[in-house]
Amino acid sequence: MPTFQVDAASRIHFEGANHEVALGARVARTFDGTDWRTTMIGESRASVRRGGTVFSTRFSPMQLQDGDLLSDMEGGIVRPVRRAVVDATLGVRLGEARRGTVGWGSVNVTVPLFADIWTTFSAGNYPVELLQGLPGAHYAAINFRLPAGKLPWRREHAIPPSRRHMPERPELPMSESLALVIGAPYDTLQLREVRVWAPGVEVVEVVADFTDWVPVPLVKEGPGEWRGYYRVEAGAHRLNLRLNRVNLDVPTNLVRVADDFSGSVGVVIVR
């Protein structure tokens, strides 16, 4: 039976360096194969990052056309574990008059196989989709992801490639107070090692054109040394380092130029 849905939504979004909050509402007009229905839905969600772990929560109250009031509540966590990334969620539906309380959950484990081929093992269940009358189910799946452009930074930085095929590591100019070097490409998709010398700093993040100007964390490797792995095409790139999640600074071994917002960025030439 064919189904159809049209949504009208409004949302306000607040985002910080390590957290985000979104509030909104929408009206859904759905056809479940037999009848047209109108549903009013509220939306709120929030997430916070602590180190390499992201915690999230979602709350969606709704009123169905027949008057039933119910709420979907869901919590989730995304966390790097050794070379894998674990993504887990738990949810519960309360107040649906015809079905009572319904719970669901899922676990996804993503691991690298080799080079840029990843696999995800998934298992869980999902509830009835009330708007279009679609059934719930249990599931298990194995997915493979092939190289196709830039990987999401949250997963890419946490999992270094095999050392057997890494090019020679770039030398850090430790005589500088703050320095950054970018190594030779690891593969044909331009995965490179980014190394930073920042003694006395607790957290180092890169803010660059190759991260879409999103602060991405580096992993501490030793006293004053940090590293990460990112897609960096050959050519000139503009960047800053964010220290302790507060101060933006330009590595002293890079050329400093003015940016478009009355500040400064560093320029690095990648070959």
113 versus 25: the higher-pLDDT residue is 25
Whether 14 shows a pLDDT value over 50: the answer reads yes
Which residues have C-beta within 8 Å of that of residue 253, sequence separation ≥ 6?
173, 176, 179, 180, 181
271 versus 242: the higher-pLDDT residue is 242
Per-residue tokens: 78 = 């995304």
Per-residue pLDDT tens over the stretch 187-222:
767 888 899 999 989 899 999 998 888 888 898 888
CA distance 125 to 119: 20
Most confidently modeled of 130-139, 158-167, 249-258? Answer: 249-258
Q: Give, for 91, the enclosing helix (H) or strand (E).
A: strand 84-96
The per-type count for the chain, helices as H runs and strands as E runs, is 1, 19
Q: What does each C-alpha distance from 48 to 56, 105, 159, 197, 242 come to in angstroms?
A: 6, 20, 21, 27, 18
Domains and CATH numbers, the chain: 4-145 (2.40.160.10), 159-270 (2.60.40.10)
Per-residue pLDDT tens over the stretch 45-94:
998 878 768 899 999 998 877 778 889 999 999 888 877 788 999 999 98
What pLDDT band is residue 164 in, cutting at 50, 70 and 90?
very low
Q: Residue type at 241?
A: L
Give the position of tokens 């409004």.
Answer: 10
What pLDDT band is residue 110 in, cutting at 50, 70 and 90?
confident
Centre a 10 Å sphere on the Cβ of residue 11 and count the other Cβ atoms it contains.
12
What pLDDT band is residue 118 in, cutting at 50, 70 and 90?
confident
pLDDT of amino acid 167 = 65
Strands (E) in 97-172, as ranges, are: 100-114, 117-126, 137-145
pLDDT of amino acid 63 = 86
Please check whether residue 17 is in contact with residue 6, taking contact to mean a CB–CB distance below 8 angstroms: no
**pTM tops 0.85:** no
